[in-house]
Amino acid sequence: MQLPPIGLGTMGIEDPDTVATALECGYRHLDTAQIYGNEAVVGEGLARSSVPREDVVVATKVWADSLAPDTIRRTTEESLERLGLEDVDLLYVHRPIEAYEPERTLSAFDELYEEGTIGGVGLSNFSIAELEAAADVLEAPIAAHQVEYHPLFQPGDLLEHARKHGYPLVAYSPLANGRAGEIEAIVDVAEAHETTPEAVCLAWLAAKAGVVPIPKASSREHLEANLEALELEHDPDDLERIDAVERTEELFPE
C-alpha cells in the first residue's frame, strides 16, 4: 500500500474541526481505532472537509477483544457506521492478544478484503514471529504494520522485515509521547538546524525508507509544523547520532 509520507494520529482528538483542519493543511492519511472512541469524530471531520473521500487514506483498528470472526464483521460494520463510510482503506488487527487466533482472525480479515469492505489488511504491534505466522495465513498481502517508533524505541528488526517484504512501517508516538525535548541528541540537532526537537524526530523518521510517521496534533500551528518538518534535511552525522540514542524505552508496551 502506498501511504502519504505523514499521517494524523487521532488518539485523544475529540473535535471534528481538528480533523477537518488537518485535511485543509494537506494531511491525506487519518488513523483511528475502535478503542480510541473517536471514529465518529474522525468521520465528521472528514465530512466537514472539502477534500474528496477518495483522496484520503482512512485507517481504523479492531481491538483485541473483538478478534473472533463474527465479532470482527460486526464491529467493523459499527466502525463504518461511526465513520460514515462504506469502506475503509486500511483495517488493522490492533494487537495480537486476547481473542486473536491467527487462522480464524485473519481469515475474517481476508473476507472483508475480498468483498471490498476494506482496502488492505494491516497489523499492529506484532513481533517478527507473529508477522511470519500471519503472512503464512493471510491470502491478502500485509498492507502495513503499525508500531511504536521514536528515538527512545527503535525496532530496527521490524523495519528490516517491512522493507524485505515490501510494506510500510507506520510509526505511532513518533515524538516519544512528548519527550522529544528531553533527548540530548535531538535537542543538539534541533539547535544546529534552528528548529524544534519535534521536527527533528519527524524528519529523522521520514528519512528512513518505508517509515510513515503519524504524529498527533490538535492546533493548526502544530499540524502545519509537523508537515513542514518533512522538508528538513538531516546530514548523515545527524542521522547516525539519533540512531545511536539508547533505545530501551517502549512507552506503550502490551
By annotation, the residues acting in catalysis are 36
What are the beta bridge partners of residue 150? 153
Q: For residue 87, with 0-12 CB atoms within 10 Å meaning exposed, 13-18 middle and 19 or more buried, which class applies?
A: middle
Q: What is the C-alpha separation between 48 and 225, in angstroms, rounded?
A: 22
- Main-chain dihedrals φ then ψ at residue 244, nearest 5 degrees: -85, 0
Least Cα distance to 207 among 231, 223, 224, 189 occurs for 231
Q: What is the C-alpha separation between 8 and 28, in angstroms, rounded?
A: 8
Cell of 103: 487462522
